[in-house]
Structure 1
Amino acid sequence: MIKHYIFSLNPTAKHEWDRCILRDPLTAKRPEIAKLVAEAVGADTGSYLVSVNIEVKVLEQAAVSQAEQLSLTFSEVPVSTPLREVA
């Protein structure tokens, strides 16, 4: 079974749960991995030893806005770095 999701990574997010987000591209809901496994097993009741393989392929990366690029670039410059004038 192949599923496609949108993965958003924001290490500077205010809340920990917003730093790594996996969402369905159509509904924007977060996937419930246990339900996906249950669908694959296809049985009503019981306990099963299962193997789950997760293969990640980046299909496309959303463009980063120029403002986001600038904020990342400026935040990487140490505050103690002296600025000098270019002649």
Structure 2
Amino acid sequence: MRQWQFAETNAYYEELEEIIMYRFATETVQLTDRETEVLGFIALGLSAKEVALKLSISPCTVERHIENARLKTRTRNRTHMIAYTLRRGMLP
């Protein structure tokens, strides 16, 4: 009886994982033009201060754009976010 329950529970979690992965694969993320621009500079290796100088905005504003993009993409950190956006063709 217990082995059957384990198999049923396992199948449930496998199905749940499939649903979640499908949702994330088909979900579209909409970044603003400014977020995309900032992430492009970050992907080139510029710091927030360097990006701020290039765009004539505050470094805090750059950090806010980065954080907003990270939250929209549901990524763990900047590296993960840049990899995610590059893989999906979201950066020029």
TM-score (norm 2): 0.29
* Rg comparison, structure with higher value: 1
More helix, by proportion: 2
TM-score by structure 1 length? 0.30
- Ranked by relative contact order (alpha carbons within 8 Å, sequence separation 6 or more), the top structure is 2
